Amino acid sequence: MTASPYPTTPWLRPPPPMAFLSLLLLLGCLSPSISLAGAEAAGVLRQVVGGDDGGTFFEPFNVTYDHRALILGGKRRMLVSAGLHYPRATPEMWPSLIAKCKEGGVDAIETYVFWNGHEPAKGQYYFEGRFDIVRFAKLVAAEGLFLFLRIGPYACAEWNFGGFPVWLRDVPGIEFRTDNEPYKAEMQIFVTKIVDIMKEEKLYSWQGGPIILQQIENEYGNIQGHYGQAGKRYMLWAAQMALALDTGVPWVMCRQTDAPEQILNTCNAFYCDGFKPNSYNKPTIWTEDWDGWYADWGESLPHRPAQDSAFAVARFYQRGGSLQNYYMYFGGTNFERTAGGPLQITSYDYDAPIDEYGILRQPKWGHLKDLHAAIKLCESALTAVDGSPHYVKLGPMQEAHVYSSENVHTNGSISGNSQFCSAFLANIDEHKYASVWIFGKSYSLPPWSVSILPDCETVAFNTARVGTQTSFFNVESGSPSYSSRHKPRILSLIGVPYLSTTWWTFKEPVGIWGEGIFTAQGILEHLNVTKDISDYLSYTTRVNISEEDVLYWNSKGFLPSLTIDQIRDVARVFVNGKLAGSKVGHWVSLNQPLQLVQGLNELTLLSEIVGLQNYGAFLEKDGAGFRGQVKLTGLSNGDIDLTNSLWTYQIGLKGEFSRIYSPEYQGSAEWSSMQNDDTVSPFTWFKTMFDAPEGNGPVTIDLGSMGKGQAWVNGHLIGRYWSLVAPESGCPSSCNYAGTYSDSKCRSNCGIATQSWYHIPREWLQESGNLLVLFEETGGDPSQISLEVHYTKTICSKISETYYPPLSAWSRAANGRPSVNTVAPELRLQCDDGHVISKITFASYGTPTGGCQNFSVGNCHASTTLDLVVEACEGKNRCAISVTNEVFGDPCRKVVKDLAVEAECSPPSVNQEPRYDI
């Protein structure tokens, strides 16, 4: 058995309070070794033999399956997978992220393959930087994890155009995702390219690589009906094309109930415990367990409680599931213009167990880690049952599923029996606790919960009882946290209130500015013109206004209006270089009053994309820009139809094409120093220089004082920003985990901007002289921009002396049977890597009241608690404390005691390293 990362000392007798201070220190020691959950969950059960220079990472093994599970190297496995998309992080982040996935107890990493990132132009491939998928796959393998590769090549993924390259629209005669020869030809070329690369790099399992599973198409069953019989033919073609590539590992199609026999059909949903594949010969697989949700500009933020995520996963394995993948385990960031559409934000945090910056989100990460450890303890029993588990009705809304290698009698104890036996006890009542009787014992089940008994006797884990810490970040705005419901204060950077007091500006010309302009008759479709090389496309024409028109408006007391039948995503109307108004929406109408003057008036329409459509049928027909008629109404002689007028087209922005966001091209613009009393006007470029904050932690910038635009740091586009405010209503003051979850259930950030903090990867920064460039469309105040290091600031936990023993107390015999030592529960605290527990702000053993950030001492309190916890934890990265009278004494006999602790985390001082052991 691998040592626990939170070792505890067994207490033989109650020592005098101060005498065991040194013993308590041992509780805070942390071995760097991986726990039972981390080691046995991961692929390191297979021998790692090399891999640094193209060699194999595993002893080559075959992957097959039967009706129960995937079979790896001849052995059925219960697998947990973590969704982690390589382009949504930097390559420098990948090793830490993969390691945190492994530490969380997962076996595999899942990722999409992003066609538009790898083939930005037809026949021109890119596999570098954030798109170096081979490097990513080898890092996964080096950690001893498997890889689930979802080639698609359609991804959805809230990714721009669903992962399709925009040039694909221009292939003559093409229709996406149907029985269309031009599309099938391009799809086959790309899928074959990816498979050939994986084979050349020896990344399939039979070559000693990590790939055990792959996907063709994605959720096609959702839209297949739109294409009729051509859709059915296409689906069958895609399956046969994939199988013909002879990859040697299984292919899946998610949400494809009519997938052919040789393809595994799988489930994507918030819950998949009721899902069954379309053939008895296929295992039950959950390719997307939505443990959070994405966010759109101007909306509140979704949040899924850790207890409900754990409940869904436990129910899946309880009812016959064999592989489950978190979508997402790490969401990351939609850098550049990769965010999908319409109107999806730059953050892809997804309320995942690892947050956008790579920091553990607690309690979700820790609670799920404990769940994975409990499931792994059951693996021998789960895989031993060839048919259905033994089902026991325990009450009107309570049930048990028992997995055993032999027949088991559930009305008495099975202690001493030699068989594998694991049980899942479920209470699906949303409101009431239930007491159930099984195995000769009584078990109390919280509402909407599952208890896991690896040995059919002892509860190792309950999904509703959280035994891990809760963490609060120093920067909460823009992350799904209930502590972020109020507008955040401006944060300071090393004593300076704001990022910079020195700014330079450059005015972006409206409409026609030079390169790439052309004139055409009529309103051209946005993407046909821009090919998505920029979000921006200007349409400019001239309108002659007579004296009669002006007199007519004056006499009637109204203004003429510009009307457009449909626009998406943002339309801005300029008259003679001045902004008249804007409209935001997805194919919505525009009606904008205009202040026109007598004579020639220059009318410019600016079309802006905020992410191309990423989901649905007929994506190639969706397009962008304007549809229908463009009219000028309210003239003295009637309306003027401008739809077929001569329009001059200008792609992109002058500053964009001059690359004034890059350090190498600062001479391409005539920057002017910004004065304190300057009025900030729309369509302005801003720049400043700044020093990186101290330390190695991830950096975040607050752009909440700005309007809408894009931001670059040292030439890297960190993404779009937009300070659209979410509605005031729709965010509960608290969230009850119990009951069926939907993405509208537990929302936060009402009444403030959907996103105000943006990720700047630390590796994009140098110590000093960093260049920040903003393109601002609507006006804002750059002097209010601030910068922070993102880290876990406050950690807290409350554990009862009646809680379960730590999962590390469990072990498995050589034959795989689990057993547990009788040890006290543990309270565990952990700061981010490199940070230390700098202060214990609350500690009480007895009957403390309240919750995290609101603890109070109760009627029963051990007076030595604070001193003991300070000695055990302060100055360390993490610590663990036994919750027992033998540590703290018994301040009130015959009363169940809790230990509650709250602490502050801080970066270590220059000369101080975090203590991991004594």
Q: Where are the domains of the chain?
A: 63-359, 474-508+654-788, 511-652, 791-910
Element spanning 99, H or E: helix 94-103
pLDDT at position 813 is: 82
Query: Which of 2.60.120.260, 3.10.105.10, 3.20.20.150, 1.10.1040.10 would CATH assign to domain 511-652?
Result: 2.60.120.260
What tokens appear for 414 in the block? 């099975």
- How far is it, in rounded angstroms, from Cα 426 to Cα 406? 22
Instruction: Express each pLDDT in 418-431 by its tens digit.
Output: 678 999 999 999 99
288 tagged catalytic: yes
Residue of 219, 299, 608, 620 marked catalytic: 219
Q: How many CA atoms lie within 13 A of 215 on its CB side?
A: 29
CATH code 3.30.499.10 for 791-910: no
Strands 421-427 and 449-453: antiparallel
- How far is it, in rounded angstroms, from Cα 247 to Cα 886? 58
Task: Provide the b/e sequence for 418-444 (b: ≥16 CB within 10 Å).
Answer: eebbbbbbbbbbeeeebebebbeeebe
- How far is it, in rounded angstroms, from Cα 266 to Cα 855? 45
Cα distances (Å, whole numbers) of residue 221 to 67, 254, 456, 742: 22, 8, 39, 21
What tokens appear for 379 in the block? 């693996």
Strands 398-404 and 646-651: unpaired
Instruction: Identify which of 625, 159, 112, 101 has the alpha carbon closest to the alpha carbon of residue 346.
Output: 159
What tokens appear for 327 in the block? 């979508």
pLDDT at position 554 is: 93
Under a CB-based contact definition with an 8 Å cutoff, are residues 792 and 360 in contact?
yes
pLDDT at position 812 is: 84
pLDDT at position 515 is: 82
Q: Do domains 511-652 and 791-910 have the same CATH topology?
A: yes
Q: What is the sign, positive or negative, of the torsion defined by CA atoms of 666, 669, 675, 681?
A: negative
- How far is it, in rounded angstroms, from Cα 274 to Cα 427? 16
Instruction: Identify which of 103, 90, 82, 91 has the alpha carbon closest to the alpha carbon of residue 38.
Output: 103
Residue of 110, 158, 288, 656 marked catalytic: 288
pLDDT at position 680 is: 76
pLDDT at position 45 is: 37
Under a CB-based contact definition with an 8 Å cutoff, are residues 65 and 329 in contact?
no
219 tagged catalytic: yes
Residue 494 backbone class (left: φ over 0; alpha: ψ -120 to 50; beta: rest): left
Instruction: Express each pLDDT in 75-113 by its tens digit.
Output: 999 999 999 999 999 999 999 999 999 999 999 999 999
pLDDT at position 55 is: 58
- How far is it, in rounded angstroms, from Cα 232 to Cα 252? 16
Report, at the CATH architecture level, how domain 63-359 is classified. Answer: Alpha-Beta Barrel (3.20)
Instruction: Indicate the burial class of 446 (C-beta count within 10 angstroms; 0-12, 13-18, 19 or more).
Output: buried
All residue ranges of the chain with pLDDT < 50 are 1-41, 44-47, 49, 53, 477-497, 910-918
Q: Which residue has the tokens 């059951």?
A: 378
CATH of region 474-508+654-788:
2.60.120
Element spanning 539, H or E: strand 536-545
What tokens appear for 667 in the block? 């001479």
